[in-house]
Amino acid sequence: MQDIADIIGLFAIEGELEKVKANKEGHINSTFISTFKWNGNHYKYTHQKLNDAVFTRPEEVMDNIQRVTSHIQSKVAHLPDKDKRCLKLVQTKGHQWYAYDDEDNLWRTYHFIDGVNTYPFLDDRLLAYRFGEAVGTFQQHLSDFPADQLHTTIAKFHHMGNRYSQLRQAVSDNKAGRLDSVQAELKFFLENEERGMVLTNALEAGQVPLRVTHNDTKINNILFDQTSGEGVCVIDLDTVMSGTILFDTGDMLRTGSITASEDEQDLSKVKCDEKLFIQMVKGYRSVADSFLTQSERSLIAESGRATTQIMGVRFLTDYLNGDVYYHIERPSHNLDRARTQIALMQDMDRKWKDIMDCLS
C-alpha cells in the first residue's frame, strides 16, 4: 500500500504531520488517526480507507455522506459546540471529498472529534434515554432533507421480503449441508414471517414516509459529550440511504435492550431489558414527536422486534450458505447469532404487554 503519510498528504490539512497511529476499533474500514501541529496548536484527523468489498459504490457512499453532513452542519452552525455535533469532511488539495491511492482504494478524511465518550453496550437508564434522544436528534436534523436525492448504495438492505427470499434460496441450495441442524430456527422464522414484514409493507404502501435512514444505529455509533453526557453526534454514516426511519429505531432498540452479546451461546442470559427499551423510546420521542407521523409513532416498539428478526434471518442465511458474509470465530458462530436474535424476540413477546402499557 502507498505510504500512509503520502495518502494523508493528498488532503488540504494545514501544519506539520507529527504522528499517525492505526485505530483498530472498526471492523470494516481501515482507520488511522493523525496529529498535526499548526501555529503552536495540535489538531487531529481521522483517515479511512473504504472497504470496497462491502461498499461497491464508494463514490456514491461519499456523495451521500457529504450531502447529509452538510445538511446537519447547517442546522447546528449556531451552537457553541457545533464542531462536536456532526462529522466534517476535509477536502483534498484538488477540492474533492475523497482521494484514491496507487491501488485505487478510496480514502477520506474527517476532522477528529475530541471531548467525547463512546460506549460498547447499554446498561444504564439515563444513557438509554440519551441514546434515544441522540437518534431522534439525528433524524430531526434530516427530517426536511429530500431522501430521494440519496443513492441506494446497498439495494434492499433492510427489506424483509428480500431477506426471506435469500433465506429460502439458502434452504434450497443447502450449500454447507447444514439444513437438518436448523429446523427449529427455520420453523420459528417462517412462522413469524408475516409479522416481520410490517415495516417493509408500511413503507411500500406509503403508510410511512420515505426519509433519510442511518441503518446502523447501535450505541457505539453515538458520541456522548464528556461533560454533559448528551449524545451529540451520530457517526459511521456509510450506510446512510433512504428508507423508513423505523429501521433506525429498530436497530437502536435491538442493540440497546439485549442483556447479552449478539453471539451469546448461553441463551438463558439473553433477555430484553424492558426498562432500557422504554427509556430509549421515551428519549427518542422527546425529540422525534416534533416530526413523526402517527403511523410512524405506532410502529416504534414493533420496529425493535422486526429489526431483530431481520438480523436473525440474515445470520441463519449466512450459516446455511457456509458463512460467506459475516466474520466467524467458530463453526457455529452465525447459528449462535441467529439463536440469540430468536431468544431476544421471544423475550420481547413475553414482555410485550408491559412494554406497550408503559409506552401508551
Q: How far apart are CA 233 and CA 134, in angstroms?
A: 7
* pLDDT score for 54: 77
Q: What is the pLDDT of residue 28?
A: 66
Q: Determine contact, residues 103/1, Cβ cutoff 8 Å.
A: yes
Q: Decide: 233 and 116 in contact? Cβ < 8 Å.
A: yes
Q: What is the pLDDT of residue 327?
A: 85
**Contact (Cβ atoms closer than 8 angstroms) between residue 122 and residue 219:** yes
Residues β-bridged to residue 229 = none
Q: How far is CA 96 from CA 33, 91, 215, 218, in A?
A: 20, 5, 26, 30
> Is there a contact between 118 and 57 (Cβ–Cβ < 8 Å)?
no
How many other CB atoms sit within 10 Å of the CB of residue 119? 14
Residue pair 183/191 in contact (Cβ under 8 Å)? The answer is no
Handedness of CA 254, 256, 257, 262 (dihedral sign): positive
Backbone angles phi, psi at 89, to 5 degrees: -75, 150
pLDDT for the residue 64: 98
Q: Are 241 and 154 a contacting pair, CB within 8 Å?
A: yes
216 backbone dihedrals φ, ψ, rounded to 5°: -155, 55
Instruction: Please tell me the distance from the alpha carbon of residue 296 to that of residue 300, in angstroms, as a whole number.
Output: 6
Report the length, in residues, of the chain: 360
Set of cell numbers at residue 33? 488517526
The per-residue pLDDT for 55 is: 86
Write down the pLDDT at residue 326. Answer: 86
Rounded to whole angstroms, the Cα distance separating 249 from 135 reads: 8
- List the pLDDT tens digit at each of the 360 positions of the chain: 568 999 999 999 999 999 999 887 655 678 999 999 999 999 999 999 998 877 889 999 999 999 999 999 999 999 999 999 999 999 999 999 999 999 999 999 999 999 999 998 898 999 999 999 999 999 999 999 999 999 999 989 899 999 999 999 999 999 999 999 999 999 999 999 999 999 999 999 999 999 999 999 999 999 999 999 999 999 999 999 999 999 999 999 999 999 999 999 999 999 999 999 999 999 999 999 999 999 999 999 999 999 999 999 999 999 999 998 888 899 999 999 999 999 999 999 999 999 999 888
23: nearest Cα among 93, 118, 106: 118
Asked if residue 241 lies in contact with residue 215, where contact means CB atoms within 8 angstroms, the answer is yes
- pLDDT, position 169: 98
Using the structure block, give the residue that is written with the C-alpha cell 431481520: 310
Cell of residue 233, nine digits: 453526534
Q: Strands, DSSP E only, in the chain?
A: 16-23, 30-38, 41-49, 99-100, 106-111, 116-117, 211-213, 222-225, 231-234, 241-243
CA dihedral 65, 67, 69, 70 (to 10 degrees): 150
Residue identified by cell 422486534 is: 305
Domains of the chain, CATH where assigned = 4-114 (3.30.200.20), 125-359 (3.90.1200.10)
- Given a contact cutoff of 8 angstroms between Cβ atoms, the answer to whether 106 and 100 are in contact is yes
Give CA–CA dist 311/289, Å, rounded: 27
Residue at grid coordinates 463453526? 331
* Residue pair 45/15 in contact by the 8 Å Cβ criterion: no
pTM of the complete model beyond 0.75 = yes
Dihedral sign for Cα 278, 284, 290, 293, please.
negative
**Can you tell me the distance from the alpha carbon of 154 to that of 56, in angstroms, rounded to the nearest whole number?**
8
CA–CA distance, 3 with 12 (Å, rounded to integer): 17
Q: Which position has the grid cell 423508513?
A: 244
Contact 261, 318 (CB under 8 A): no
DSSP lists the bridge partners of residue 109 as 47
CA 126/CA 10 separation, integer angstroms: 42
